[in-house]
Structure 1
Amino acid sequence: MTGGEQGQGHDLGGLDWRDGVIPVSRRFDDPYFSLNDGLAETGHVFLAGNNLPARLCPGFQVAELGFGTGLNLLALHLCNPGHPIRFTSFEAFPLDSADIARALDHFPQARAVADPFLTAWAKGERRFEIGSITAEILVGDARATLPQWQGCADAWFLDGFSPAKNPELWSPDLMAEVGRHTAPGGSFATYTAAGHVRRALADAGFAVDRRPGHGRKRHMTVGVLA
């Protein structure tokens, strides 16, 4: 998860490490992934919430708000049966490769396939291949970069820091841009069930549904472009 304010690099205000393994943004006072098995949460929320991998096919486009540690990308790679697909993520504050590697060490399955990503990231590359996925991370405020994006997603991972702490990444205007950059019949999934987020996504054209969340979270939200 990550924020939507202008900036990049370590403008997050630094990291704290909960239990030595879970990175927490000082700027947003929020962890980058679930304290209750982040990889399992990714599978429950973003993969199952978008009915992946069943929908994956050559040319499929996944887009994401909040790249963070890249855990969602790696989970997508692990579930992809080998289709050439595209992944685009919008990230305001990219972490450095050492912090990402330290965070991914908490997830041996993801860390085992992360080297191509980490090698490219350490070189400053923001477009790279991982397996059969072509990934591109667009650095900057999503409120500026998403409207300029020429792509159209079949599935969205909405994974910014919590709406209460990072409201910029959940604004009605940005959710409207998500809708405008979604293919007919495309979907989104997010861990949050905040009412104002659900309403903004409904106004953006999605048929919105609330589902059981992961772990201690009672609810999450999914939707399909109507």
Structure 2
Amino acid sequence: MASPHQPPALDWRDGMIPVSRRFDDPYFSLAGGLDETRHVFLTGNGLPGRFRDGFRIAELGFGTGLNLLAVLLAHQGPGHVSYTSFEAFPMPAPDIARALAAFPEVAGVTEPFLKQWEGGQTTLHFPNLTATILLGDARATLAGWRGQADAWFLDGFSPAKNPELWSPDLMRQVARHTAPGGTFATYTAAGHVRRALSDAGFTVTRAPGFGRKRHMSTGILQPPTTASRISPG
């Protein structure tokens, strides 16, 4: 993909799992990336049951696009969904194709995705979904975004290795760009992340994680008049 933005430097585990050299972290679970996406981001946000015409998803960390493809597979009913993702280091199409080859189930939606991505498009069109990938540091691009989300996928690299994408300031921006009653889900249950989301206005719940991860986090945005809290889950 032709882009002025720096692509990620990658290593490949088992020849198929991309690992960021910058953050020393894999792009998806070694135990099964598609299953992880469904468990964490779809089920964690009550999807696909909440889908309706005009439903809005936003995401921190586009990566290989696997979360987007999982949504495309899950959204088989009527109505149009919008999907906005924030990505600082866009992965070139050949690397995405190599990574997604591990998931034959998404092959039917991978081809139209990659054709657009390889052509340099950052607004991607599908029959019942439009995806917009905003390139650049999310600390700047999210603050300037005028949209809101009904569901957030918080999918940056590990908070221990990529703390900038989990800062209290950025979590406040996530809350500011969440519709009333909107939700988030993330694979991490790190205490400082949960506190930042709680302080931003979400009621945060610890939930069973995927694979070897004992816990993950989900939450719902409370009205401004309701004090946020962390529930024991």
TM-score range, shorter chain: over 0.9
TM-score normalized by the length of structure 2: 0.92
Structure 2: gaps (5+ residues): 223-233
Residue 148 (structure 1) aligns with: 144
| Aligned equivalent of 1:3 | none
1:198 paired residue among 194, 198, 205? 194
Distance 1:58 1:113 in 2: 20
1:34 to partner: Cα distance: 0.4
Q: How far off is 1:57 after superposition?
A: 0.2
Q: 1:86-125 alignment to 2 at 5 Å? A: 86-125=82-121
Q: Give the distance between the partners of 1:116 and 1:173, measured in 2 at CA.
A: 36
**Which residue of the partner structure matches residue 207 of structure 2?**
211
Counterpart in 2 of 1:30? 25
Residue 147 of structure 2 aligns to a residue in which SS? coil
Do residues 48 (structure 1) and 47 (structure 2) align?
no
Other-structure match for 1:222: 218
Tell me if 1:167 matches 2:160.
no
Counterpart-to-counterpart distance in 2, 1:112 and 1:215: 26
Unpaired stretches in structure 1, ≥5 consecutive residues: 1-6
Query: What amino acid is aligned across from residue 109 of structure 1 in structure 2?
Result: E
Distance 2:127 2:98 in 1: 22
Match of 2:15 in 1: 20
**Residues 9 and 96 of structure 1 are in contact (CA less than 8 Å); yes or no, is this contact kept in structure 2?**
no
Please state how far the C-alpha of 1:115 moved relative to its aligned partner: 1.1
The alpha carbon displacement at 1:116 in A equals: 1.2
* SS of residue in 1 equivalent to 2:69: helix
What amino acid maps onto 2:182 in structure 1? Answer: G
Q: What's the counterpart of residue 129 of structure 1? A: 125
Question: 1:128, CA displacement in angstroms?
Answer: 1.2
Give the structure 2 partner of residue 69 of structure 1: 64
Instruction: Tell me what 2:52 maps to.
Output: 57
CA distance in 1, matches of 2:170, 2:151: 16
Q: Residue 158 in 1 paired to residue 154 in 2?
A: yes
Query: For residues 112-170 of structure 1, what are the alpha-carbon distances to aligned partners after superposition, in whole Å with 9 as ceiling and x for unaligned?
Result: 31111100100100001123110000000000000110100000000000000000000
Alignment partner of 1:114: what SS? helix
- What is the letter of the counterpart of residue 174 of structure 1? L
Q: Aligned partner of 2:118: which letter? A: A
TM-score, normalised by the number of residues in structure 1: 0.95
- Give the equivalent residue in structure 2 for 1:8: 5
Pair member with larger Rg? 2
What is the SS of the residue equivalent to 1:77? helix
- 2:26 partner letter: P
Distance 2:28 2:167 in 1: 21
- Distance in 2 separating the partners of 1:65 and 1:125: 19
Contact 1:182 1:225 in 2 (8 A): yes
Distance of 2:127 and 2:211 partners within structure 1: 30
Q: Is 1:79–2:74 an aligned residue pair?
A: yes
- Preserved contact between residue 157 and residue 189 of structure 1 (Cα < 8 Å): yes
Q: CA separation in 2, counterparts of 1:43 and 1:128?
A: 21
Q: CA deviation at 1:9?
A: 2.8
- Identity of counterpart residues, as a percentage? 67
State the alpha-carbon separation in 2 of the partners of residues 111 and 99 from structure 1: 15
Give the CA deviation at 1:190. Answer: 0.0
SS at match of 1:147: coil
Read off the aligned partner of 1:32 and give its amino acid letter: Y
